[in-house]
Amino acid sequence: MRTPSPLPAAAYVALVLVLFLLLLAYAHSRWRNLSASRAKLSPLAAFGTLREGLVCSRQLRGSLLVILVAALWTGSSITLQIVYDYYYKPLLLSYVSFSLQMVTLCSYPSRAREALGASVSWLGAALRGKAAAASYARLSSLTASGGARAPDPGLRAVGAALRLASMIVVATTLFNASLGHTSITSATMLSSSSQVWTLIFSAVRLGELLTPVKLVSIGMTLLGVFLVVSGGGGRKHAVVGGADDVWVNIACMALIGISAMLYGAYAVQIKVEVPSEKVLPVPFLFGLMGLLTFLLGWPVLLLAHAAGVETFEAPSREAALLALANGLFATVLANMLLARATVLASPLVVVVGLSLSIPLALASDVWRHEARLSLTILLGSLCVWLGFVGVSTAKTIGSWFC
């Protein structure tokens, strides 16, 4: 069997690095222009220019964090492929990964005690049937969209964590449950529709403008995803139990579509819940999400074991270490960086940027001689990168034509 040449892989990696350097070069030149013009302006105008530069810097930092998360997710995919070869327990591994987020509560011991104490006190009063009208109003504010009216900071944080954890766990579960009954093309394209949902939810809930640059950039990203997938990038999902009925396939594709919608809503909800890290620190929020997952998720594992959906087996030492490392880096660290990027940039930049994990994953497959490079895949990867750059710099690009 002929070994594929490493030259296509090197060319692909070079393309990724060049596009990344172009983004850095653009940001650097933009910053230099702002710095050069600042000395020629009046104090008031200089302040406005400095503020614009800080906004650009926040956007750049958010974009770079998204690229880092895409790389972490690519490494996570490779790690899970290794673990799944001899320990296929996706439900248990997801539970462990999400629960590990509670380690960040160690940095906020007093706030964690306050939030949990307030929650336990309210829950105890409610279970005893002695919740007063004030407590009922507090619960109503917790279940309201955004949770901004919650009077107790601790209860507000717990409510925000419960909403976000529910959304991301349900979205992930629906997606993973449908993977065995859909093709890689259908799953990838439907999951990429979360970009459209994020654009819609951002306009409705955050008041962001639907500019032509954003629409064109999203269209280019979706086109790039389609080209990469149709060009043979990625692996085929193993169909569970042989060929499925057409209605089963349709139902699973509908579940993936719902998952994409929930993820778009989740990305926007982070921005709603965390308008500023001074109000609610991201590590503290995700620590509460991990704790709630740990406390509320184990009954699901017992039900899955009793129903025979996923029987519990002790992992080997290698599988346990890989799962622990994957949870710490690809879930705990990646989710905090992702939330930070959402606060710095916007939910749309984050969701579109995560599409970079598709060409990055393909780059790893090419590098490991598990996929072959083609012109279609290169063009698709270029479209994904250009779409991400377009969304990240939509305001600047729009000003060029105004």
pTM: 0.70
| Cβ neighbour number for residue 254 with a 10 Å cutoff | 13
161 touches 142 (CB < 8 A) = no
Are 90 and 278 spatial neighbours (Cβ–Cβ below 8 Å)?
no
* Residue whose pair of structure tokens reads 């996706």 in the numeric block: 90
* 285 vs 267: CA distance, rounded Å: 14
DSSP 8-state secondary structure symbol assigned to residue 105? G
If DSSP codes are grouped into helix, strand and coil, which group holds residue 62?
Answer: helix
Q: Give per-residue pLDDT as tens, 222-258.
A: 888 888 777 655 444 444 444 456 777 778 788 888 9
Between CA 342 and CA 343, with CA 70 as vertex, the angle to 5 degrees is 10
Report, as an integer, the average pLDDT of 159-187.
78
Which amino acid appears at position 351 of this protein?
V
Q: What is the CA radius of gyration of the chain?
A: 23
127-163: pLDDT as tens digits:
776 544 455 455 555 555 444 444 577 788 888 999 9
Dihedral pair phi/psi, residue 134, rounded to 5°: -65, -40
CB 115 within 8 A of CB 154: yes
Terminal Cα-to-Cα distance of the chain (whole angstroms): 57
| Exposure string for 154-167, b = 16+ CB within 10 A, e = fewer | bbbbbbbbbbbbbb
Is 132 exposed, middle or buried (CB count within 10 Å of its CB: 0-12, 13-18, 19+)? Answer: exposed
- Measured between alpha carbons, how far is 23 from 56 in angstroms, rounded to an integer? 12
Mean pLDDT of the 206-221 span? 84
Q: Contact, 228 vs 377, CB < 8 A?
A: yes
- pLDDT of residue 116 exceeding 80: yes
Token pair in block for residue 256: 């993936």
Which residue, among 247, 252, 241, 231, has the nearest Cα to 183 in the 3D structure? Answer: 252
Residue 41: band (very low, low, confident or very high) from pLDDT cuts 50, 70, 90 = very low
> What's the pLDDT tens digit per position in 285-315?
999 999 999 999 899 899 989 998 888 888 8
